Amino acid sequence: MLAPKAFLDALSDQASRLFSNDSSLPRGEIESQFRTLMQGAFSKLDLVSREEFDSQMVVLARTRARLEALEQQVAELDARINPATPES
C-alpha cells in the first residue's frame, strides 16, 4: 500500500492526464474513466460502508451505556463494602 502522500500524488497525476486540455474524449467517457479511476483508488484504501459505520456506532453507544452502568454498580458495591467512617 502506498503512503498517503504518494497515493494522492499518483491519483492526482492520473486525474490530470485524464482531464488535460488536449483530451479529445467526450464528456461521458471522461466521467466514466474518472469514476473507474476513483473506484480503483478507493478499493486500495481500508474503508467501510456507511451502513457498517452506523451499525458500529450503535454498538459503541450501547457498550458505553453498559460500561457506565457497570461503573455505577461497582461504586455502589464499593460504598457498601467500605462505608465511609465519620472522622472525629
Q: What is the pLDDT of residue 30?
A: 73
Q: What is the pLDDT of residue 87?
A: 61
Measure the CA–CA gap between 87 and 59, rounded to whole angstroms.
Answer: 45
Set of cell numbers at residue 74: 461497582
Angle value at C-alpha 31, between 30 and 32, nearest 5 degrees: 90
Q: What is the pLDDT of residue 23?
A: 61
pLDDT tens-digit series, residues 23-46:
666 777 777 877 887 788 777 777
Extract the residue ranges of the chain whose pLDDT is less than 50. none
Q: What is the pLDDT of residue 46?
A: 79
